[in-house]
A = this chain, B = another copy of it.
Amino acid sequence: MLFVRTREGKERLVRHLDEGNRAKTLSAPAVAILAYDVDFHEQMPTVFPARGEMLRAAFADQTEKRESLAVYNSALQTGVFLLAVRAAGLAAGPMAGFDRAGVDGEFFSGTSWRSHLVVNIGHPGADPWFPRLPRVPVEDAIAYA
């Protein structure tokens, strides 16, 4: 997770955002760039000491599997992160409308981090909300067995 708080950092970031996301990002007190680590297996000896070396070796050649696991787990933790921001009394504005390769080149060059979401964080301005959109009917989304 990279927190962008300086004016200079935000200017470097907004170049890679879709046009409609730029002004609000420049005005946000903090912006989080959420990333996953495609080389997370290098951390296995740290986070799972009992089988760390075994897991690190098992994942070493599994580039695609590592990427899909990293995306899944980062997305899951993104759900937790957005609620954590809101639980702290702040608003979180997640945006997928940006050039990932551009952001990665700008901030994560030479690392194994890959951006997947940009989240504006702060207090909302006046009248900031869109009307709530309709949902899929609950009987189409939840089943029982």
Scan A123-138; emit 1 where CB is below 8 A from any B CB, else 0: 0000000000111110
* Min C-beta distance of A44 to chain B, whole Å: 10
Nearest residue, chain B, Cβ from A77: B79
A27 contacts partner chain B, Cβ-Cβ < 8 Å: no
Most buried by B among A75, A116, A140, A145: A145
Instruction: Please determine whether A2 and B83 come into contact, CB atoms closer than 8 angstroms.
Output: no
Contact residues in B for A73 (Cβ distance below 8 Å): 75
Question: Does A1 count as interface, using CB distance less than 8 angstroms?
Answer: yes
Given A47-B136, A134-B47, also A142-B76 (CB < 8 A): no
Subset of 15 A-B contacts with CB under 8 Å = A1-B141, A2-B142, A2-B143, A3-B145, A5-B145, A43-B136, A47-B134, A68-B71, A71-B72, A72-B72, A73-B75, A75-B75, A75-B78, A79-B80, A80-B82
With A75-B75, A78-B79 known, 16 other A-B pairs at CB within 8 A are A1-B141, A2-B142, A2-B143, A2-B144, A4-B144, A12-B145, A43-B140, A47-B134, A68-B71, A71-B75, A72-B75, A76-B76, A76-B78, A76-B79, A79-B79, A83-B83
